[in-house]
Amino acid sequence: MRNIKDTGLIQEEPLIFELGRQGRRGYSLPRWDVKEAEPTDLIPSTLLREEWEGFPELSEVDVVRHFTRLSQWNYGVDSGFYPLGSCTMKYSPKVNEEVARWSGFAGVHPYQPEDLSQGILRLMYELEGFLAEITGMDHVSLQPAAGAHGELAGMMMIRAYLQARGERRKKVLVPDTAHGTNCSTSSIASYQMVEIKSNEKGVVGPEAVASEMDEEVAAIMVTNPNTLGLFEEHLKEIAEIVHRKGGFVYCDGANLNALMGIVKLGDLGVDVVHLNLHKTFSTPHGGGGPGAGPVAVKKGLAPYLPIPVVEKVGETYRLNEDRPQSIGKMKAFYGNFGVLLKAYAYILSMGSEGLRRVSEMAVLNANYLMKRLKGHYFLPYDRPCMHECVFTDRFQERFDVSTLDIAKRLIDYGFHPPTIYFPLVVKGAMMMEPTETESKQGLDRFIETMIEIAREAEENPELLRQAPQKVKVRRLDEVLAARKPKLKWTGEK
């Protein structure tokens, strides 16, 4: 095995308050040729900040170097492997970022008239068509700003449809392997959440759904592939059970990176699905936003789509707000357009064959990682996975080493840890999603490191319990940090 112990130069960096020196300036202005005014002459006193003793004064180079060094402490997919499970932290082509910066797109004002926005409207109209084709649905709204926002739009449309039929259903079925947002969304949409237990294979069984399905159930919210990285193989049969009782099938499409070009969810009986463009379609994920969560529906729900709806009349594109059954606006203006633009460019550049290849490589990489690590870490569901796989710390528990210890030790080797302790149905879970953008060489380096950590857990467990050691800050009291965060500078470290 090659030497995988990483070392490197770590530059110390004080707080910006400690860098400041009285009298330093980061600007140079000409002499004023007017009388100096007091701040209260120009701004109401209620809007003025009180003087802050110790406010840092720095030169331009001080500021530039400080924030440059801080940026070098950051970790992202451009820095290295980022195996967060259920997040699809894949590399996004930079060419799509360049397209999004073109002035003809970036300079568009949301109040610009429709006759001056024909190119923009055409792009959105065509993107809706692409996403409908990929998912096997009939209509798409690009308005929701994120995945959970798309979920809410979908459940609001289901609710509006049922109310129009005079039905007042109360419950939504949510499998224990669904994303946590599914539970929140059903509650916000005023439904009672009923949990469906997955079976011994890690998927939802038709019999479990049938036992809970009745005329009070509005929908089932299924994540497919689910949070165990497994394909819900009974989804079509489940959809038939739900439809027979007049309910809807909502699919959380956040994990579409394993399915696009291979499976059309609409063919499996899905009525509504949202997509996370910032996970699958070329917007960098994990920076706090913006995102986009388009929602796709079958034609029966189309009258309830959020307004305005992009339409094509002859050769002209327009935004139609005259839709009396609509659930209304989900967002001011029309979603996060830059994210929509990057998704459009990504789909055009990849084509149908390229999108299918993305899914194939994502599934191949996940199964390769699972196969190599099986035996070193416990695999609760030993079967082919989709885009991600889930291990646990059961083998390491006998050495008093936990999932958290393993994750912290990975940092010493220069890797961002995977998602840990999720999904909740697996004790001590480590959920890893390599995505299609990682090479075999990169995966092998991560795999060798994980194997080395498993050896360390057996031979030197105290080393893991004290990790990380090669970083700026050692292991923190994460509970204290969450409950009593320091959000204001007090002069104390």
Is the pLDDT reported for residue 5 higher than 60?
A: no
pLDDT value for 39: 85
Phi-psi category of 286—alpha, beta or left, where left has phi over 0 and alpha has psi -120 to 50?
A: left
**Domain 352-473 maps to which CATH number in 3.40.630.40, 3.90.1150.10, 1.10.10.10, 3.40.50.1470?**
3.90.1150.10
Q: Report the mean per-residue pLDDT for the chain.
A: 92
Least confident of 209-218, 330-339, 385-394: 330-339
pLDDT value for 120: 95
Buried b / exposed e along 60-86 (16+ C-beta atoms within 10 A): eebeeebeeeeeeeeeebeeebbbbbb
Residue 345 parent element (H or E): helix 337-373
CATH class, domain 94-349, is alpha beta
- Written in H, E and C, the secondary structure of 205-249 is CHHHHHHHCCCCEEEEEEECCCCCCCCCCCHHHHHHHHHHCCCEE
Residue spans in the chain of domains classed CATH 3.40.640.10: 94-349
pLDDT value for 396: 98
pLDDT value for 328: 96
Residue 68 parent element (H or E): helix 60-73
In Å, how far from its chain's centre is CA 18?
36
Residue 172's φ and ψ, nearest 5 degrees, are -130, 130
Q: Which tokens go with 220?
A: 């089932």
Is the pLDDT reported for residue 1 higher than 50?
A: no
**pLDDT band at 28; cut points 50, 70, 90:** confident
Q: Which tokens go with 430?
A: 């480590």
Alpha helices in 112-234 (DSSP H): 118-135, 147-164, 180-188, 206-212
Is the pLDDT reported for residue 243 higher than 90?
A: yes
Q: Give the Cα separation of 123 and 464 in Å (integer).
A: 51
Q: Give the Cα separation of 422 and 148 in Å (integer).
A: 18
Contacts of residue 255, defined as CB under 8 A and 6 or more positions apart, other chains included, come to 86, 88, 223, 224, 225, 226, 386, 387, 388
Residue 319's φ and ψ, nearest 5 degrees, are -105, 115
Residue spans in the chain of domains classed CATH 3.90.1150.10: 352-473
CB–CB of 297/272 below 8 Å? yes
Give the mean pLDDT of 191-214: 97
Q: Cis ω on the peptide bond leading into residue 308 (within 30° of 0)?
A: yes
Q: What does DSSP say about strands 171-175 and 217-223: parallel, antiparallel, or unpaired? A: parallel
**pLDDT band at 493; cut points 50, 70, 90:** low
Q: Is the dihedral of CA 445, 422, 477, 491 positive or negative?
A: positive
Q: Give the Cα separation of 292 and 149 in Å (integer).
A: 9
For the whole model, what pTM was predicted?
A: 0.89
Residue 18 parent element (H or E): helix 16-19
pLDDT value for 8: 47
